[in-house]
Structure 1
């Protein structure tokens, strides 16, 4: 039955066995993309690069929950350094606060630097290309200690 079904499939036209069919194509496809959703660990820090461009960084915590052999739910938290350039840095300074839940899209960048003790240190960061604040941290609104959601525009920005 399968042979008869395959016999009905038409063969591509225009392809002949010849010198072109034996050559390997040089097509290369690369992708470096990270999408993270997590909790902001501290307020955004802004700084100026050697080139005079503004950059902003903040730590983002993501968690993975799983069950161990005994059925206990465990949680593993990973911290990521998020780096934003120019326009995104300015916007992040205005709206991202410690405790916010943020989605960040960008690429992974690895780097090496020498610390103040002369030791070479490897690091990584997410070079953000866009972000969206999914929820803002709660803040105190009165003396009784009631929490109220901080309201502001949820924003996605591209650099």
Structure 2
């Protein structure tokens, strides 16, 4: 096989608010931690054990602005993207590494308000493409309904 694949799909809860960073050229990035859980039963003790993994999520430009506007700590979200490892010099002179998920697509699954109220999410999940389409599309008045049986 000659091709390669770098793809990550996660469903988790935001661990903090989206932190925005703006650049001189007009671009921006948003960063937030995402928690995913693995739960299993310990065979020796019989008790349920939950392990939480934290992922560094990075979204860019319009997607970052959408995430900042609609997401908050505790919200459940699906993200899809690719792994990217960055390297930099720490203040102590040591080389540091950070692995991030560079988001290419996302879907809001619940909001904090829905999670606290115990409601199920609406039938229209919010994706980056859906939000951009809603913003660009003019509002149309509903037409008369047909009496068709299908």
Structure number with greater Rg is 1
Map residues 62-141 of structure 1 onto 2, 5 A cutoff: 62-70=36-44, 71-138=46-113
Aligned-partner Cα distance in 2 for 1:76–1:49: 37
Other-structure match for 1:29 = 3
One of 11, 28, 51 as aligned partner of 1:54: 28
SS at match of 1:42: coil
Q: CA deviation at 1:148?
A: 8.0
One of 13, 18, 28 as aligned partner of 1:39: 13
Q: CA deviation at 1:42?
A: 0.6
TM-score between the two structures when normalised by the length of structure 1: 0.70
Other-structure match for 1:156 = 127
CA-based RMSD of the aligned residues comes to 2.5
Kindly tell me the number of residue pairs found equivalent between the two proteins: 126
